[in-house]
Amino acid sequence: MNIKHPKHEQTLVIIKPDGIARGLVGEVIRRYERAGLKLVAMKMMRATPDLIEKHYTLDPEWRRVTGEKTIMGYLDKGLKPPVEDPLQVTAILLGRLVKYMTAGPLVPMVWQGAHAVQIVRKLTGGTEPLMAAVGTIRGDFVIDSYKMTDDDDRSIRNVVHASGSVKEAQDEIAHWFKSNEILDYVTVHEKYLYDPEL
Ligand code: ADP
Ligand code: MG
C-alpha cells in the first residue's frame, strides 16, 4: 500500500454539543459521506475541560492566529474589536470554548480521502456563521456572530470542529483516538474516485 497517496489523508471532525442537541449528527455525516470521504473512526463521549484545552492548544500558533482572525472579523465589518491584543482575545475565548465543548456530549470522527483536510474545511465553512458560505454546514445551519457571542460572553456555536491543516489533523487525531480505533476497510467509492485503470 502506497500510504503517501493523497487518498490516505485523514482529518478530525468533532460534532459539538449544539450539533448533537439540534439533531444534526446524521446531516453532518451525510455531507462528508456523500462527497466520497470515508469514515474511519467515530465515537460518542463527554470531554473533560483538560481534554478540550489541550485540543485547542496542540498548535502553539493557535492562540495568535485565532486572535488575529477574530480581530479581522470585526475590522472587516467596520466594527471596533472589544480587545486589541490577539492573545488577550484567545485567553477569553479558551474559557468560553471549554464551557461550550463540555456542555454536552461530543461525536469525534476521523474522515479519510484525497485532500480530506481541505475538502472537510470547505464543506464545513468559515468559523463565523454570519459570514460562512451558503451550502456549508456552518452557513446552512447556524445564525451566530463574533459580535453576539462577545456581548453574551460565550463561544461561537458552529456545530462542528474540523482540523485546519494536515499537521493539525495528525496531532488532533492522536489526541482523540488510539491507533487501534482507526479502522481500515474498502468502500465502493474508492474504485471510482482513485482507480487509474477505470
Ligand atoms: P475553526 O473551528 O473554524 O477552526 P478556530 O480554531 O479559530 O476556528 O476557533 C475554534 C472555535 O472557537 C470556533 O470553531 C468557535 O467555536 C470558537 N471561536 C473562535 N473564535 C471565536 C470568537 N472570536 N468568539 C467566540 N467564539 C469563537
Ligand atoms: Mg481551528
Residue 2 — pLDDT band, cuts 50, 70, 90?
Answer: low
pLDDT at 73: 92
Rounded percentage of the chain residues whose pLDDT exceeds 70: 98
Query: Residue 37 forms beta bridges with which residues?
Result: none
Residue 4 has pLDDT above 90, yes or no: no
In a domain, 9, yes or no: yes
In a domain, 182, yes or no: yes
Measured distance CA(134)–CA(109) in Å, rounded: 24
In a domain, 184, yes or no: yes
pLDDT at 88: 94
Measured distance CA(126)–CA(138) in Å, rounded: 7
Which whole number is the average pLDDT over 134-149? 97
- The 10s digit of each residue's pLDDT in 69-105 is 999 999 999 999 999 999 999 999 999 999 999 999 9
* Domain extent for 16: 1-46+105-126+134-142+157-192
In a domain, 5, yes or no: yes
In a domain, 58, yes or no: no
Which whole number is the average pLDDT over 133-162? 97
Residue 162 has pLDDT above 70, yes or no: yes
What's the one-letter identity of residue 11?
Answer: T
**CATH code: domain of residue 117:** 3.30.70.141
Query: Which atom of ligand 1 sits closest to the CA of residue 62?
Result: 6
Distance from Cα 190 to the centre of ligand 1, integer Å: 33
In a domain, 138, yes or no: yes
Residue 170 — pLDDT band, cuts 50, 70, 90?
Answer: very high
Q: Quote the mean pLDDT of the chain.
A: 95
Instruction: Provide the CA 121 distance to its chain's centre, in angstroms.
Output: 7
In a domain, 100, yes or no: no
In a domain, 63, yes or no: no
Distance from Cα 192 to the centre of ligand 2, integer Å: 31
pLDDT at 146: 93
Which whole number is the average pLDDT over 52-79? 94
Residue 3 — pLDDT band, cuts 50, 70, 90?
Answer: low
Classify 42 as helix, strand or coil.
strand
Measured distance CA(86)–CA(64) in Å, rounded: 6
Domain count, the chain: 1
pLDDT at 178: 98
By most ligand atoms within 8 Å of CB, the mutation choice from 52, 87, 92, 127 for ligand 1 is 127
| pTM summary value | 0.94
Residue 161 falls in the annotated catalytic set: yes
Give CA angle at 38 (35, 44), nearest 5°: 110
Q: 50 is written with which cell numbers?
A: 483538560
Ligand 1 contacts (CB < 6 A) are 66, 69-70, 93, 97, 127, 146, 149, 155-156, 158, 161, 164
Residues at Cβ < 5 Å from ligand 2 ion: 164
pLDDT at 15: 99
